[in-house]
Amino acid sequence: MNEVTASVAQGPNGETAEYVFVTPELAAGWLQVNVEKNRNVKKSRINGYVRDIQSDNWVLTGEAIKFDIDGRLIDGQNRCHAIVAAGQGAWVLVVRGISQEALIVLDSGSARNAGDMLVITGLADKADAKDVGAIARLHVAWSAGDVKHAGSHIGGSAQLTKTELAEAVMNIPNIEFAARHARGMYRYLRLPVSALGVAFLAFSAIDIDDTAEFFNRIRDGIQNGPGDPFLTLSRRVTNDLQAGASRRILPGQALFYLFRTWNAFRTNESLVKLQIGSPQAGFTPVPEPR
């Protein structure tokens, strides 16, 4: 957005609202009057805002930078930090004169999350939105090389802005179908739906028929004794989940299990163990599905 007509709206108690083109210098000055008890900055959110600003994906959402009646910045510090870090300005809505009474209820409502965004924009049905978002994040992270080994924690590319998430969803063919398929498969194999969805998409791009057989064998419990990849996968997942009440299989670990099993299935390899390694000895790399 390059042009916004300057106008100021007045509230009943002296509050004002206007669109302002905030330069890095102006944002830096506002941060100097940041209220002392403001929340901690969120680096992942700031980094996302920076990418949006620098890629010309910054949009006016109606979310305002807010100042109280004493001129202190009380909401919007992450956006101000992002404008400074981006080194270029951005249009924002600015509200001034927020009263003490309003501060009590500020941000007490439920914010729209990424799943809400996917539903509102029509990119996913309500029943699929959460899973579509999780699959898109993991798919982007894996495609970017951020899921290197079985112990990978999904960060970096997974911290997508809502704009980036929407773009990822639009650019991943059949992601809604993958979400429904993965959610159904979760009943038979308790791995994260995000990993099951990414595996389905990756395998389908290689061989549709083998993909169908792979997941059908998991669903139907078809196992041919010791060395059968599906038996080894099932036992490993069961053992992991029984290791403790709070045990959780992370998406990177789940991708290792699924990709390693797929490759063994495709080459008729005997697979006796799925060893993920350790922090001390090093984690096992996640193989490319082939």
- Residue 166, pLDDT score: 87
Spacing of C-alpha 109 from chain mean position: 22
Nearest C-alpha neighbor of 37 from the set 93, 95, 106: 106
Cβ 168 vs Cβ 178: under 8 Å: no
Q: Which residues pair with 98 in a beta bridge?
A: 68
- Residue 102, pLDDT score: 67
Cβ 277 vs Cβ 149: under 8 Å: yes
Q: Which residues pair with 285 in a beta bridge?
A: 149
Dihedral sign for Cα atoms in the order 138, 143, 147, 153: negative
Q: Taking the chain, what is the end-to-end CA distance rounded to the nearest angstrom?
A: 44
- Residue 109, pLDDT score: 47
Q: Which residues pair with 37 in a beta bridge?
A: none
- Residue 247, pLDDT score: 64
Token pair for residue 137? 């994040």
Average confidence (pLDDT) per 10 residues, the chain, 290 residues: 62 89 96 75 88 93 89 91 96 90 55 66 76 94 93 70 86 94 96 97 97 97 93 95 73 96 97 92 94
- Residue 114, pLDDT score: 72
- Residue 108, pLDDT score: 47
- Residue 233, pLDDT score: 97
Alpha helices in the chain (DSSP H): 24-31, 43-54, 77-86, 100-105, 114-120, 129-143, 162-171, 175-185, 193-204, 208-220, 229-242, 251-266
Asked whether the whole model's pTM tops 0.75, one would answer no
In whole angstroms, what is the distance from residue 232 CA to residue 224 CA?
10
- How many Cβ atoms sit within 10 Å of the Cβ of residue 159? 18
- Residue 268, pLDDT score: 96
DSSP code of residue 172: S
97-108 burial code (b ≥16 CB/10 A, e <16): bbeeebeeeeee
Cβ 274 vs Cβ 230: under 8 Å: no
What is the DSSP track for 175-233? HHHHHHHHHHHTTTS-S-HHHHHHHHHHHHTT-HHHHHHHHHHHHHT---STT-HHHHH
DSSP code of residue 94: E
